[in-house]
């Protein structure tokens, strides 16, 4: 369930961890992708946030959009990072 609160005079919506979604866009045989998946699994597991992975070699649209940046991490559909995933930064992005 989302909750509303004021931050810096603005109303913002805060999503519960179960309402968030992290997407890891990766390809087979990519060591940076393997490293990114370890961080995503750990952070999402700790925070109870669902996550998924998508194979860039099986999706033409993802391939066009992200080929030169993989691995790519999306948070709620928006690009959060690429190449290397910083655990602290991802935690902060997902923190309630």
Q: What is the pLDDT of residues 34-82, one digit of tens each?
A: 999 999 999 999 999 999 999 999 999 999 999 999 999 999 999 999 9
Domain ranges of the chain: 17-94
pLDDT for 87 beyond 80 = yes
One of 3.40.640.10, 3.20.20.330, 3.40.30.10, 1.10.3720.10 is the CATH number of 17-94, namely 3.40.30.10
Confidence category of residue 13, pLDDT binned at 50, 70, 90: low
Answer for the pair 66, 25: CB distance below 8 angstroms, yes or no.
yes
Confidence category of residue 96, pLDDT binned at 50, 70, 90: confident
What HEC string does 29-93 produce? Answer: CCHHHHHHHHHHHHHHHHHCCCEEEEEHHHCHHHHHHHHHHCCEEEECCEEEEECCCCHHHHHHH
- The arithmetic mean of pLDDT across residues 22-33, rounded, is 97
């Amino acid at each position: 369930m989302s909750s509303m609160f004021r931050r810096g005079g603005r109303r913002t919506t805060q999503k519960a961890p179960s309402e968030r979604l992290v997407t890891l866009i990766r390809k087979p045989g990519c060591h940076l992708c393997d490293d990114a998946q370890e961080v995503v699994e750990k952070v999402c597991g700790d925070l109870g946030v669902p996550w998924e992975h998508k194979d860039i070699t099986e999706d033409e649209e993802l391939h066009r959009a992200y080929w030169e940046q993989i691995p790519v991490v999306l948070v709620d559909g928006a690009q959060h990072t690429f190449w290397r995933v910083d655990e602290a930064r991802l935690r902060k992005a997902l923190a309630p």
